[in-house]
Structure 1
Amino acid sequence: MGHCSAQFIFLLLLKILQSSAKDELIECVCVGTTEQCSLEERCSGDQCYSSVIVNGDVISFSRGCLKGPEQKRMICSTAPSAKYAMKCCSEPMCNSNASIESLLDLLLPSGVPRTVAGQGGEPLQYRVETLALFVLGPMVVLALLSLLAVLVCRRLHHGRLERLHEFDTEQGAIDGLIASNVGDSTLADLLDHSCTSGSGSGLPFLVQRTVARQISLVECVGKGRYGEVWRGQWQGENVAVKIFSSRDEKSWFRETEIYNTVLLRHENILGFMASDMTSRNSSTQLWLITHYHENGSLYDYLQRVAVEMVDGLHMAASVASGLVHLHTEIFGTEGKPAIAHRDLKSKNILVKKDLRCCIADLGLAVTHSQTDNQLDVGNNPKVGTKRYMAPEVLDESMQTDCFDAYKRVDIWAFGLVLWEIARRTYSNGIVEEYKPPFYDLVPNDPSFEDMRKVVCVEQQRPFIPNRWFSDPTLSALVKLMKECWYQNPSARLTALRIKKTLDKIHNTLEKGKTDC
Structure 2
Amino acid sequence: MLCACNFNCDINYCTSKFGCFTQIVLKSDQKRYSILYGCTSNLIQSIQCGLDNFKDQFKCCKSGDFCNLNFTNEYLQAPKLPRDTTIQFWNINYFLIILSCLFSILISGLALYFCKKIRQIRRESHIKDQLKNFRHRIQHEINEPKIVVETIQSYTSSGNGPSELIQRTISRDIHIDYDSGPLGKGRFGVVWKAKWNHDDIAVKVFFSMNEPSWTRETQIYQTNLIRHENILGYITSDIMGLGCTVNMIILTDYHPLGSLYDYLQKNTLNKSQLLKFLFSISNGLTHLHQEIFSTSYKPSIIHRDLKTKNILVKQNLECCIADFGLAIRFNHNHIENDYELSLRQGSVRYMAPECLNESLDLRSVESLKKTDIYSFSLVIWEVISRLKIDGFINDEHRPPFYEMVSGDPQIDVMRDIVCVKGLRPKSKIENLIKDQDLIQVVELMRECWSNNPAERLSALYLKKKFKKFIQ
The CA distance in 1 between the partners of 2:459 and 2:166, in whole Å, is 36
Alignment of 1:283-298 (within 5 A): 283-298=245-260
The CA distance in 2 between the partners of 1:237 and 1:341, in whole Å, is 28
Residue 177 of structure 2 corresponds to residue 218 of structure 1: yes
The CA distance in 2 between the partners of 1:254 and 1:304, in whole Å, is 33
Partner residue, 1:327: 289
Equivalent residue in structure 1 for 2:378, among 416, 421, 427 = 416
The CA distance in 1 between the partners of 2:188 and 2:397, in whole Å, is 25
* Conserved 8 A contact 1:366-1:376: no
Partner residue, 1:473: 437
Corresponding letter in the other structure for 2:409: P
Q: TM-score, normalised by structure 1?
A: 0.57
Residue 405 of structure 2 corresponds to residue 435 of structure 1: no
The CA distance in 2 between the partners of 1:222 and 1:448, in whole Å, is 24
CA distance change for structure 1 residues 367 and 178 in 2, over 3 Å: closer, same or farther? closer
**Offset from partner CA, 1:155-200 (integer Å, 9 cap, x none):** xxxxxx9xx89xx9xxxxxxxx9795389xxxxxxxxxxxxxxxxx
Q: TM-score, normalised by structure 2?
A: 0.62
Corresponding letter in the other structure for 1:210: T
CA distance change for structure 1 residues 285 and 206 in 2, over 3 Å: closer, same or farther? farther
Residue 340 of structure 2 corresponds to residue 340 of structure 1: no
Cα deviation, residue 257, structure 1: 0.8
CA distance change for structure 1 residues 486 and 217 in 2, over 3 Å: closer, same or farther? same
* Conserved 8 A contact 2:269-2:388: yes
Structure 1 counterpart SS, 2:297: coil
Q: Between the two proteins, what is the percent identity of the paired residues?
A: 43
Residue 413 of structure 2 corresponds to residue 450 of structure 1: yes
Corresponding letter in the other structure for 1:484: C
- Root-mean-square deviation (Å): 2.5
Structure 2 counterpart SS, 1:406: helix
Equivalent residue in structure 2 for 1:494, among 458, 461, 466 = 458
Corresponding letter in the other structure for 1:318: S
Bigger Cα displacement from structure 2, 343-352 vs 465-474: 465-474
Structure 2 counterpart SS, 1:181: strand
The CA distance in 1 between the partners of 2:244 and 2:197, in whole Å, is 25
Equivalent residue in structure 1 for 2:243, among 249, 259, 281 = 281
* Conserved 8 A contact 1:337-1:369: yes
CA distance change for structure 1 residues 244 and 212 in 2, over 3 Å: closer, same or farther? same
Partner residue, 1:402: 364
Structure 2 counterpart SS, 1:470: coil
Residue 446 of structure 2 corresponds to residue 485 of structure 1: no
Partner residue, 2:221: 259
Cα deviation, residue 269, structure 1: 0.2
Cα deviation, residue 280, structure 1: 2.4
Alignment of 1:234-383 (within 5 A): 234-370=196-332, 373-375=334-336, 378-379=339-340, 383=345
Cα deviation, residue 427, structure 1: 2.2
Corresponding letter in the other structure for 2:298: K
* Conserved 8 A contact 2:230-2:321: yes
The CA distance in 2 between the partners of 1:428 and 1:178, in whole Å, is 52
Corresponding letter in the other structure for 2:232: L
Partner residue, 1:461: 424
The CA distance in 2 between the partners of 1:178 and 1:391, in whole Å, is 43
Corresponding letter in the other structure for 2:468: K
The CA distance in 1 between the partners of 2:149 and 2:235, in whole Å, is 17
CA distance change for structure 1 residues 434 and 377 in 2, over 3 Å: closer, same or farther? farther
Partner residue, 1:132: none
Cα deviation, residue 281, structure 1: 1.5
**Offset from partner CA, 1:57-79 (integer Å, 9 cap, x none):** xxxxxxxxxxxxxxxxxxxxxxx
The CA distance in 2 between the partners of 1:261 and 1:206, in whole Å, is 25
The CA distance in 2 between the partners of 1:474 and 1:497, in whole Å, is 16
Equivalent residue in structure 2 for 1:181, among 151, 165, 170 = 151
Cα deviation, residue 380, structure 1: 6.6
The CA distance in 2 between the partners of 1:257 and 1:298, in whole Å, is 25
The CA distance in 2 between the partners of 1:415 and 1:504, in whole Å, is 18
Corresponding letter in the other structure for 1:265: R
Structure 1 counterpart SS, 2:177: strand
The CA distance in 2 between the partners of 1:452 and 1:178, in whole Å, is 46
Structure 1 counterpart SS, 2:400: coil
Corresponding letter in the other structure for 1:441: M
Cα deviation, residue 261, structure 1: 0.5
Structure 1 counterpart SS, 2:264: helix
* Conserved 8 A contact 1:216-1:233: yes
Corresponding letter in the other structure for 1:239: I
* Conserved 8 A contact 1:468-1:475: no
The CA distance in 1 between the partners of 2:410 and 2:305, in whole Å, is 16
The CA distance in 2 between the partners of 1:404 and 1:482, in whole Å, is 19
* Conserved 8 A contact 1:212-1:276: yes
The CA distance in 1 between the partners of 2:310 and 2:391, in whole Å, is 29
Cα deviation, residue 376, structure 1: 5.0
* Conserved 8 A contact 1:277-1:287: yes
Alignment of 1:135-214 (within 5 A): 180-181=150-151, 210-214=169-173
**Offset from partner CA, 1:354-381 (integer Å, 9 cap, x none):** 11000001111121122x7445572476
Corresponding letter in the other structure for 1:401: R
Aligned length: 312
Cα deviation, residue 471, structure 1: 3.3
Partner residue, 2:128: none
CA distance change for structure 1 residues 180 and 349 in 2, over 3 Å: closer, same or farther? closer
Corresponding letter in the other structure for 1:305: N
**RCO higher in 1 or 2 (8 Å CA, sep ≥ 6)?**
2
The CA distance in 2 between the partners of 1:369 and 1:178, in whole Å, is 28
* Conserved 8 A contact 2:152-2:166: no
Cα deviation, residue 252, structure 1: 0.7
**Offset from partner CA, 1:123-171 (integer Å, 9 cap, x none):** xxxxxxxxxxxxxxxxxxxxxxxxxxxxxxxxxxxxxx9xx89xx9xxx
* Conserved 8 A contact 1:375-1:401: no
Structure 1 counterpart SS, 2:183: strand
* Conserved 8 A contact 2:377-2:448: yes
* Conserved 8 A contact 2:203-2:250: yes
CA distance change for structure 1 residues 242 and 390 in 2, over 3 Å: closer, same or farther? same
Cα deviation, residue 467, structure 1: 3.5
Structure 2 counterpart SS, 1:480: helix
